[in-house]
Structure 1
Amino acid sequence: MTTGEDLTFRAATADDWDAIHRLLSLLFHDADSDELRQVESSVYEPERGLVATDDEAVVGHAAAYTRELTVPGAILPAAHVTLVGVAPTHRRRGVLSRMIRRQLAEVAAAGREPIAVLWASEGRIYPRYGYGLAAQRLSLRVNTREMTLPGEPAGKLRLVDPVATIGDFAKVYEQLRAERVGWSSRDDRWWRFVLADIPAMREGATERHGVVHEGPHGLTGYATWRTKGGWDSNGPTAEVQVGEVVAADPETYATLWRFLLGIDLARSLHATYLPVDDPLVHLVNEPRQLGVRLQDGLWIRIVDVPGALAARRYATDVDVVLDVTDPLIPANTGRWRLTNGACEPTTGPADLACTVTELGAAYLGGTSLTSLAGAGRVRELTPGALIRASQAFGWHRMPSPLQIF
């Protein structure tokens, strides 16, 4: 049996893609179709991939996408970590640890991306490497027959082919992206990836549908969805499967949801990527029928503590000294004085103590420092500092984990 030390770890190449995709399809229980492989290769960046090989066979992989992420008050370059896995024949040998540690070291050395972000297949894995749960999300299982959304539609709705309407979708998305914490940048390549409609991945549902909303001054929102038909002895039981609902104003938002909740022959609706403070909970006449479930979304890893903390904005004036521990990136370990727009090393006494994991969890304003302190993960060293810092790290809008990558 080989050990992790017997394996070769190297940068990926474009020629590795087929083997990488076969491995990841096995690990995530997906069909390894040619169409899916081609679509996913359209956004893959082999120069940011890392493979572990055993006698030339790919047995481990980790990669990152080069994208931006909206954070409180700013848009930052962020390593979008993805496609991580180890062959079942090579588990428990430190392969994952070696890949993630090397990836973090490379991101830190490059100096372009002060943070990394990912979606976790299992939440217990990534805190070991300094990732903190920064954004949760709401998942809905709506009983549409038992609730309504009061009010009247506003503006005009128009059914569209999503792929043919990428330009309209992108225009609305870009108008809003700077204010929507948790949203990632999308160029044309990414829009085509997000809207790719592969029959093998529909799980019995229809093709993806789209609708745009037009107000007096042009487009103000869009939504995507599928339906999954069904009938029983009482009649139709179709389910609406919501993709994205993006709206520039409350009237557009309510109109799009009123449309989705009222689709003929449907009796239920499923939506999985809503922010924790989503307005829909306050729009419907019976919120219990939304079937709300809280799930994890974005995990943030602070790669460059002073760079990341100085780049985002804060809800209130901030002046706090943080004693930070980071066992994987030693440059982050130390005392940092965070003031409005600056984060500098200091020898002064610390106000709060935590690891880089807690900073990642609090970074998007979706997890409070007081909550982390209640869990024993942040220590207050100066009385009153915790409340002041927690208020500053908060934000007026909860992060919105809109898309798995």
Structure 2
Amino acid sequence: MDDSGIIIRTGDADDWPAVFELLSFAFHEQGTPEARDSEGSVVEPERTLVVQDGDAIVGHTAAFTRELTVPGAIVPAAHVSLVSVAPTHKRRGLLTRMMHRQLRDIAAAGREPIATLWASETKIYPRFGYGPAARRLHMEIMMREVRPPAGLAPGSADRLRLVEPKDAIAELAKVYERVRPERTGWSSRDDRWWRYVLADLESQREGATSLHGLVYDTPKGPTGYALWRTKDRWNRHGPDSEVQVREVVADDPVAYAALWNFLLTIDLARSATVSFAAVDEPLQYLVDEPRRLGSALSDGLWIRITDLPKALAARSYAAPVDVVLEVTDPLLEQNTGRWRLTAGPDGGATCRPTTDPADLACTVLELGSAYLGATSLAALAAAGTVRELTPGTLRRASVAFGWHRMPNPTEVF
């Protein structure tokens, strides 16, 4: 095949209709005009790359400008998405060319020390240095088989209030922003992103209702909210509806328990599904039959470090550490070398180049995997991808890279 006429260029706003058609075909979706407009509302054309063969757009990738909560900090992170190559142009190296250029552009801009994505196929992105950094918990809850958490206490001044989600963005955002600094794996949401998250397109409901909202009110203001749908079902035994839980965000345990009490006692429903729970989701410790939560794990966020010293210095650490890392990065060569990572009792860190002997050796992928505190360096060492060069260093570094709460990937972007 002659690829001499194929170019990769920065996209522009006029590309979006053709790009949306490409993405809809690649992801086996029946794209609608409302879906095209909704998705397009968050696309930043200047941060897209387009592969063009003659007049046809045959490849695409994008990055969104958002922040990500990491252990002890909020950092700018390139949110990579909308990646695809036309089936007529597979196996020609176009995806590799796009991803390499995108990562080099992110690194050269110097604003975002990490990139993050959700992987459609998990075998693809390790080739570009992305490591699996956070898993998510799925739940298929047998509602009649678990005793729900406690609801509102009798005589409480607090109350639950139904809302139309799109009309309550200010209230939802207030709670979300109060909780976000402590929830590793959460992304920032400006008004544009809130409108996108709550777009609620009928074509994407798969027979369920529109999105419902619930706010937990206190005399001092809202401290929690829940978003969910229901899917009507009946069988020979009677009602068998499903509650599809989208988000439960709470600033305190009382609000959290009351929101889940409401969701797990909805009339005519017999099951509830949750797709974005944390591995250490508190609900697991509030019900009497945790096995009936039907929990299962899958991958969530993948992290690629683009500026190693800035990324490692940006997050906090769970314990003091002083370790020399020997890192290999075949794509972003400025990350390759020996780096001394030092963190004190307050968790604050520095990361500087050094000529001292290395204590641990790995590639940039392993550091991305460990970056959010969920993947243990010791586990990676057991897999043979991290090497301990100074005895005793692995244990201390593994503890330091951990965190007191598991990350909670809560939104596919």
The residue aligned with 2:180 is: 177
Gaps in structure 2 of 5+ consecutive residues: 344-348
Partner of 1:371: 379
Q: 2-side partners of 1:377 and 1:266: how far apart?
A: 46
The residue correspondences of 1:132-151 to structure 2 (distance < 5 A) are 132-151=131-150
Structure 1 match to 2:392: 384
The two structures have a TM-score, normalised by structure 2, of 0.97
When residues 333 and 164 of structure 1 are mapped into structure 2, their CA distance, relative to the original with a 3 A threshold, is same
Shift of 1:216: 3.4
Are 2:51 and 1:52 aligned?
Answer: yes
Is 1:325 aligned with 2:340?
Answer: no
Deviation for aligned residue 1:130: 0.3
2:247 is aligned with 1:244: yes
Q: Output the CA distance in 2 between the equivalents of 1:280 and 1:142.
A: 11
RMSD of Structure 2 on Structure 1 (CA): 0.9
1:162 is the counterpart of 2:174? no
Amino acid at match of 1:97: T
1:120 is matched with which residue?
119
Q: Distance in 1 between matches of 2:381 and 2:297?
A: 21
Letter of the 2:28 partner, please give it.
Answer: H
Aligned length: 404
The reply on whether 1:103 has 2:102 as its aligned counterpart is yes
Q: 1:56 Cα shift?
A: 1.6
How does the TM-score come out when normalised to structure 1? 0.98
Deviation at 1:246, TM superposition (A): 0.2
Q: Secondary structure at the match of 2:206?
A: coil
CA distance in 1 between counterparts of 2:237 and 2:376 reads 47
Residues 140-160 of structure 1, C-alpha deviations (whole Å, 9 max, x = no match): 111111111243424311000
Aligned letter for 1:239?
A: E
d(CA) in 2 for partners of 1:350 and 1:388?
Answer: 15
Are 1:280 and 2:293 an aligned pair? no
Determine the structure 2 residue equivalent to 1:402: 410
Partner of 1:295: 298
Q: Which piece of structure 1 moves more, 188-197 or 211-220?
A: 211-220
Q: Identity of paired residues, percent?
A: 63
Letter in 1 for 2:357: P
CA distance in 1, matches of 2:150, 2:66: 39
In structure 1, the gaps of 5 or more residues are none
Matched, 1:306 2:314: no
AA in 1 matched with 2:25: L
Q: Which residue is equivalent to 1:212?
A: 215
Contact 2:137 / 2:298 at 8 angstroms: preserved in 1?
Answer: yes
* CA displacement, residues 235-264 of structure 1 (integer Å, 9 cap, x when unaligned): 011000111100001111111111111111
The offset of 1:43, in angstroms, is 0.5
What is residue 187 of structure 1 aligned with on the other side?
Answer: 190
Q: Is it true that 1:360 corresponds to 2:359 in the alignment?
A: no
Match of 2:233 in 1: 230
Residue 272 of structure 2 aligns with an amino acid whose one-letter code is: L
In the aligned structure 2, how far is the partner of 1:197 from the partner of 1:138? 23
Cα distance in structure 2, aligned partners of 1:188 and 1:141: 31
- Distance in 1 (CA, whole Å) between partners of 2:150 and 2:13 is 53
